[in-house]
Amino acid sequence: MKPNYYVAHPWHGLELGPKAPDELDVFIELTPQDTVKYEIDKASGFIRVDRPQKYSNRSPTLYGFIPRTYSGEASGKHCSEVVGRAGIVGDGDPIDICVLSVNPITHGNMILTVIPIGGLRMIDKGEADDKIVAVLKGDEVFGQIKEISEVPKALINKLHHYFLTYKLDPNSPSTGTVEITEVYDRAEAIKVIQFGIEDYIKKFVTV
């Protein structure tokens, strides 16, 4: 087989994996050790420094996105129907994912195989911005967890706090725009991922 000398774009070039959406290959941008927020540059596929973390918040888990997903029309419509609020749209990004691992992975820009167990339904300025929660496949502590209800409540609370405050300027408390309406189970997480795949195909694949 002729070798591939080019690096795939993490959003568009990576595969979801043969068992998706029950088991996924995901791309990690950010680790709990990072003091700045890294984010994929959509045009090039390289990791860009999005912003320094000005205050004490750091992601409590590995954080990244699910390749070949997109939060678009179907994602926004599903969120609207679930929360009973008209007009919610997708945020135009790949579906975000938080990965639980007892092993200290200290840098991003890597691919992990994970198993979704639930998620946080987050809305930011009227846009669906779901945070899927998954466990690292084979992890000796978290790897046996099947549902988010099995995760220690303190860890879910940390995720809540991080996402509710990571954009908040403590000098201007009114700038907070994020709300988390619920923590949902694995079945709902799979639905959110499937809508993200549907939106991606409609946005980038369907001619």
d(CA 73, CA 63): 24
pLDDT of residue 92: 97
d(CA 23, CA 206): 24
pLDDT of residue 74: 98
pLDDT of residue 176: 63
pLDDT of residue 35: 80
d(CA 131, CA 95): 7
Compute the Cα dihedral for 153, 131, 120, 180 and give only its sign: positive
Domain boundaries, the chain: 24-205
Side chain identity, residue 193: I
**Angle at CA of residue 160, ends 155 and 164, nearest 5°:** 150
Residue 15 CA, chain-centre distance (Å), reads 16
Rg value, the chain, Cα: 16
In the numeric block, which tokens belong to residue 23? 């088991």
Q: Are the C-beta atoms of 109 and 28 separated by less than 8 Å?
A: yes
pLDDT of residue 172: 62
Side chain identity, residue 39: E
Per-residue pLDDT of the chain in tens (207 residues, 90 and over written 9)? 567 678 899 999 999 999 999 999 999 999 998 888 888 899 999 988 877 766 667 899 999 999 999 999 999 999 999 999 999 999 999 999 999 999 888 888 999 999 999 999 999 999 999 999 999 999 999 999 999 999 999 999 999 999 998 777 666 655 568 899 999 999 999 999 999 999 999 999 976
pLDDT of residue 6: 81
Task: Name the fold adopted by 24-205.
Answer: Inorganic Pyrophosphatase (3.90.80)
Residue 40 CA, chain-centre distance (Å), reads 12
